[in-house]
Structure 1
Amino acid sequence: MLIEIEDKIISAEVFRKKFVCDLIRCKGACCVEGDAGAPLSQEEVFKLTEHLDNIAPYMSSEGLEAISKFGVSTTDHEGEPVTPLIKDGTCAFVFYNEKHQALCSIEKAHLEGAIENLKPISCSLYPIRVKKFNDFTALQYDEWSICKSACSQGELLGVPVYRFLKNALTRAFGAPFYKELELVEKELENIPE
């Protein structure tokens, strides 16, 4: 089932699937696995380039090497900008904490007050993937085996994907859009899956 709000088409899974990141179990696997870096908008590429000096102190030496070689973005198989990867397929912006959890140097720079929130919106919105078309924007739930513990955690806590991503969805599309999502959830409660 698909839901239309404004110029967005949203998969019902965004409301029906449950999800809460479980960093203790997954250790940030979504930032170190996959065949391409995180999708970026042109504006994000510009802002990351502009603020790189403030992000660099939080990056790993391998990440800095990748950035010096490729810049803050490369292109994926569709020609779209993505974050560069280091040799093992890890995002160049990843650093590891003392628990060996993959964390984002962009987010760390923001939390430390060095920059505004420049974490790529595609990262903040995961497991929702956003695809822009000529007449609409699609929001789909992306099921990935490395997020099994997040799905279990979401089921345990009863948190739908969209609610877990409230801040990211509001940042990406605005508070009125998020309010519409809440109304849709109430309507879907009366419709069997």
Structure 2
Amino acid sequence: MSEKFIIDDRIFNLKFSCDVTKCKGACCTLKGAGGAPLLDEEVRIIKRNTEIAKKYLSVINIFHIDTDGVIEGEPGDYSLKSVNDEECIFAFYEEGIAKCAFQQAYNNNETDFKKPISCHLFPVRISGKKRNIIKYEEISECEDALVKGKADDITVFEFAREALVREYGEQFYKDLKSKYFTKKESQ
């Protein structure tokens, strides 16, 4: 199955483990980056879960949601809106760390929607019409995650396991792991 994919080798080689105590949830607040990319099928799910997520948000974010909505773009190119071209419309702060309102609602068993798959996968990005290009997205805000990844001995691939399984299934993940690590050991 993975033969039909173009995969950035860095996801297998680069060590990465998110350290939100250092980055403060920077991936939810990237200035000028636009909102998180969405799959077309996520649009309906997000609209259905917006009211649930609102209870975690600031008055400012709720105002923007009620005034401007939560999604922009068109089929095949949707994204979440951001506040002031910076933080995600669904970001809230807890002890100075930006967090996802959907994730919080999911953790509290209020929804079965964890968060957009692009957010769940980060720093892995998926692209291509068939969603068959898997790559690592490097941002300076994640430098501490590289340090922590080395200390914890976790690769980007391992860090993103749950999200990769959510996107492609358990068997895909196992096959890719087996293929890559067998290939690596034989070199």
Q: Please, which runs of 5 or more residues in structure 1 have no aligned partner? A: none
Using the size of structure 2 for normalisation, the TM-score is 0.91
Per-residue deviation, residues 136-193 of structure 1 (Å, max 9, x unmatched): 610001111110000111111111101011111111110001101211332243366x
Q: Distance in 2 between matches of 1:120 and 1:29?
A: 16
Of 33, 51, 54 in structure 2, the residue corresponding to residue 53 of structure 1 is 51
Q: Distance in 1 between matches of 2:128 and 2:65?
A: 27
Q: Distance in 2 between matches of 1:191 and 1:61?
A: 56
Count matched residues.
186
* Matching residue of 1:176: 171
Using the size of structure 1 for normalisation, the TM-score is 0.89
Q: Distance in 2 between matches of 1:111 and 1:54?
A: 12
* Partner AA of 1:138 in structure 2: I
Classify 1:112/1:57 alpha carbon distance in 2 versus 1 (closer, same or farther; 3 Å): same
SS of residue matched to 1:119: coil
Per-residue deviation, residues 104-151 of structure 1 (Å, max 9, x unmatched): 0010011111111240000010011100225x6100011111100001
CA RMSD in angstroms comes to 2.0
- 1:21-60 to structure 2, matched below 5 A, reads 21-34=18-31, 35-60=33-58
The structure richer in helix per residue is 2
Query: What's the CA shift for 1:24?
Result: 0.5
Q: Is the 8 A contact 1:7 1:137 kept in 2?
A: yes
Q: Distance in 2 between matches of 1:143 and 1:111?
A: 28
Q: Please, which runs of 5 or more residues in structure 2 have no aligned partner? A: none
